[in-house]
Chains A and B, each alone.
Chain A
């Protein structure tokens, strides 16, 4: 697949503090590329550098379809993390203004705006003043504004924050559809379950540095080890005798065993001691959510063996 955006060895520091360093990834046509990381990891800084709102100290940002050094602003849709709309203007006015800034034909923009408002349950709201909208409605209008001009590259920084589950689903469907139609999408989010469902590839960043980069499948097979959850009151000593366990978490009658990467589930189950109390037992792979928390809290279960008592 053709890469629309290539970020190469990006680095940026404020004063003496290095915010991001050596960040390299690409966003391809028709894919959803997720950029993940805890708060303050450098996601928004990376995105702001791409958008030319900040200027990187090191590295380069290349837009494949653009001639010259300028950022092809008209071909990019951007939904920033810190976002809002002018308060005392009508919904349609602000949408048309933002489309006009992107040099998108006004008549076409108007029609598309009406279609999208309808799609997002905001039919008839085009003449309403922005300040009368609820927060969720405002979010929808901002989202519409970012895609109204049919961008080739869509950058969404935390698009789901503050949305109810129904609206989240709506956004998710729309983002997926856009990707299917060929839009390259760079998505930053904390909602791991949504990212897991949507993203084709992901880039995880922590303290300004790359932690994971690859396709969802690769990441899952590489990092998402199996874990075994057992319900029933068991002594920690018994659990510690079980082989191929990286880490144990216990909370009341639930014990979670994080297993080594090479574990064969069926073979491993046969090694469980007979005295183990089991009311319920499940085995599944560690979710993206858990990988995320693991990295964010520096537990580093992927690398080290240890015990954590919850």
Chain B
């Protein structure tokens, strides 16, 4: 273990003294910020306002329409706010025919129960639900005006508002209060820990890809035999994995310290409070297991290559494995509990990514699936380390040529 730590320390020191690594270390977050700025630059472009406006009909029983209009204007929402006299029953039929239209019913229910029924037509923009939240403040003001502020009333106010969305296809007869699908108080609050863990995983996995380079460099520089006269191949391999794990963490920390002030400025929300919740621990464990799996694969495969530029098809395929979860992003987002999501959860190469994504968007965590998936992941990590050790031991001393899959198979069986 002491030798392992010496190797890890050396890998860290060597990279931190390396200009290429240092440039990359700071360039990554700067690029992220750059792209975000670029995005918002184009976002503000007036030419881009061509986006479809949503027609929003308000059946206003309380006379808050002017305030709502003001709120919409202030927030520059892409809405066409109109008044309507249609009743809820009529709207149900209407909504089925129209496109990109919403009906909001503001009546006594809003004041008493804090419930605002909303009927949506087909093809409503995905951010509409978030935009709806902006209407709560004029309503709240109204509510406060109506009630004198006593303790009891404050309790009512603090209940907030729930916008009950209903698509025309759904059963409209059920009352909105029963079928509440409450959107979390704040979507960013739910997404933050998962996004954070995902970011950490990407940071360490991508830095981990440098292990690949590092293992083949050992051969290219012909120093392997000198190093192995002082320690065992297993110690060298583990040292590299630990070293690059720490380097990945350094990358993540640097990125985050640079990104946070920017995020806090752009998004006016207490992100830090959202991120550091107990759930984060599990998410980080998943991220670390993901790293260990890929790191051991990389170090093993790296040892079979004379030079990174001569990587064969087989080696190239292994390098692409971390990108495999991207295939699952679409299906998982559209149905986080669906078959594709479950398959992704049980394949070791995709499970860290898919699991992080699912846990981020799911309200109720599927604990049984999580436990099975973690068990598969832990066994895979153990197996990958074992195999990588065998490949590394032989591969690291083979100079001048790449190992074929056949040869690698032979080493594994030896």
Chain A contact residues, CB within 8 Å of chain B: 48, 51, 53, 73-74, 76, 78-80, 82-90, 93, 97-98, 100-102, 142, 145-146
- Name the segment of B10-18, B261-269, B330-338, B365-373 touching the other chain: B10-18
Q: Are A85 and B231 in contact (CB under 8 A)?
A: no
| B residues in contact with A51, CB < 8 Å | 225, 228-229
Please pick, from A48, A82, A88, the residue contacting B399 in the complex, using a CB distance under 8 A.
A82
Q: Are A101 and B227 in contact (CB under 8 A)?
A: yes
Q: Are A101 and B231 in contact (CB under 8 A)?
A: yes
| Contact A84/B230 with A97-B10, A101-B3, A101-B6 known, Cβ cut-off 8 Å | no
B21 to chain A, nearest CB (A): 10
| CA A76 to CA B230, docked complex, whole Å | 8
Does B223 lie at the interface of the complex (its beta carbon under 8 Å from any beta carbon of A)? yes
| CA A97 to CA B6, docked complex, whole Å | 8
Does B221 lie at the interface of the complex (its beta carbon under 8 Å from any beta carbon of A)? yes
Q: Are B225 and A82 in contact (CB under 8 A)?
A: yes
| CA A74 to CA B222, docked complex, whole Å | 21
Inter-chain pairs besides A80-B225, A89-B17, 7 sampled, C-beta below 8 Å: A51-B228, A53-B397, A73-B229, A80-B229, A88-B14, A100-B10, A101-B6
B5 to chain A, nearest CB (A): 11
Within 8 A of A (CB), among B5-50: 6-7, 10, 13-14, 17-18
| CA A74 to CA B397, docked complex, whole Å | 21
Within 8 A of A (CB), among B234-284: none
Please pick, from B17, B221, B231, the residue contacting A84 in the complex, using a CB distance under 8 A.
B221
| CA A98 to CA B229, docked complex, whole Å | 10
Q: Are B14 and A73 in contact (CB under 8 A)?
A: no
Q: Which residue of B lies closest to A99 (CB)?
A: B230
**Residue from B217, B229, B231 with most neighbouring chain A CB atoms (10 Å):** B229
Please pick, from B7, B222, B231, the residue contacting A82 in the complex, using a CB distance under 8 A.
B222
Please pick, from A80, A89, A102, the residue contacting B14 in the complex, using a CB distance under 8 A.
A89
Q: Which residue of A lies closest to B214 (CB)?
A: A86
Chain B 355-398 against A: per-residue CB contact (8 Å), 1 yes, 0 no?
A: 00000000000000000000000000000000000000000010
| B residues in contact with A87, CB < 8 Å | 221
| A residues in contact with B320, CB < 8 Å | none
| A residues in contact with B225, CB < 8 Å | 48, 51, 53, 78, 80, 82-83
| A residues in contact with B7, CB < 8 Å | 101
Cβ-Cβ contact count across A and B, 8 Å cutoff: 64
| B residues in contact with A89, CB < 8 Å | 14, 17
A305 to chain B, nearest CB (A): 43
| B residues in contact with A80, CB < 8 Å | 225-226, 229
Q: List 27 A-B contacts (CB under 8 A).
A: A48-B225, A51-B225, A53-B225, A53-B397, A73-B229, A76-B229, A78-B226, A78-B229, A80-B229, A82-B399, A83-B226, A84-B221, A84-B222, A84-B226, A85-B226, A86-B221, A86-B223, A88-B18, A89-B14, A90-B17, A93-B17, A98-B227, A98-B230, A100-B6, A101-B227, A102-B230, A142-B226
Q: Which residue of A lies closest to B399 (CB)?
A: A82
**Residue from B3, B18, B223 with most neighbouring chain A CB atoms (10 Å):** B223
Q: Are A83 and B223 in contact (CB under 8 A)?
A: yes
| CA A80 to CA B6, docked complex, whole Å | 22
| Contact A53/B228 with A83-B223, A85-B223, A100-B6 known, Cβ cut-off 8 Å | yes
Interface residues on B, range: 20 to 34
A17 to chain B, nearest CB (A): 15
Q: Which residue of B lies closest to A97 (CB)?
A: B10
A234 to chain B, nearest CB (A): 49
A103 to chain B, nearest CB (A): 8
| CA A86 to CA B229, docked complex, whole Å | 16
B353 to chain A, nearest CB (A): 32
Chain B 201-237 against A: per-residue CB contact (8 Å), 1 yes, 0 no?
A: 0000000000000000100011101111111000000
Q: Are B221 and A85 in contact (CB under 8 A)?
A: yes
**Residue from A79, A97, A145 with most neighbouring chain B CB atoms (10 Å):** A97
Q: Which residue of B lies closest to A146 (CB)?
A: B226
B233 to chain A, nearest CB (A): 9
| B residues in contact with A79, CB < 8 Å | 226
| B residues in contact with A142, CB < 8 Å | 226
8 closest A-B pairs (Cβ-Cβ)?
A: A84-B222, A101-B230, A78-B229, A80-B225, A84-B221, A82-B222, A97-B10, A84-B223
| A residues in contact with B230, CB < 8 Å | 73-74, 98, 101-102
Q: Are A98 and B228 in contact (CB under 8 A)?
A: no
| CA A70 to CA B230, docked complex, whole Å | 12
Q: Which residue of B lies closest to A155 (CB)?
A: B229
A57 to chain B, nearest CB (A): 13
Q: Which residue of A lies closest to B235 (CB)?
A: A101
Q: Are A86 and B3 in contact (CB under 8 A)?
A: no
Q: Which residue of A lies closest to B18 (CB)?
A: A88
| CA A51 to CA B221, docked complex, whole Å | 20
**Residue from B221, B222, B227, B230 with most neighbouring chain A CB atoms (10 Å):** B230
A163 to chain B, nearest CB (A): 17
Chain B 285-323 against A: per-residue CB contact (8 Å), 1 yes, 0 no?
A: 000000000000000000000000000000000000000
| A residues in contact with B222, CB < 8 Å | 82-84
| CA A76 to CA B98, docked complex, whole Å | 84
A223 to chain B, nearest CB (A): 33
| CA A74 to CA B229, docked complex, whole Å | 9
B229 to chain A, nearest CB (A): 4
| Contact A86/B217 with A78-B226, A98-B230 known, Cβ cut-off 8 Å | yes
| CA A51 to CA B397, docked complex, whole Å | 13
| CA A80 to CA B225, docked complex, whole Å | 7
A252 to chain B, nearest CB (A): 41
Q: Are A98 and B18 in contact (CB under 8 A)?
A: no
| B residues in contact with A76, CB < 8 Å | 229
| B residues in contact with A74, CB < 8 Å | 230
B216 to chain A, nearest CB (A): 13
| A residues in contact with B399, CB < 8 Å | 82
Q: Which residue of B lies closest to A103 (CB)?
A: B2
| B residues in contact with A78, CB < 8 Å | 225-226, 229
Q: Which residue of A lies closest to B3 (CB)?
A: A101
A79 to chain B, nearest CB (A): 8
**Residue from A51, A53, A78, A142 with most neighbouring chain B CB atoms (10 Å):** A53
| CA A145 to CA B217, docked complex, whole Å | 19
| B residues in contact with A101, CB < 8 Å | 3, 6-7, 227, 230-231
| CA A48 to CA B17, docked complex, whole Å | 33
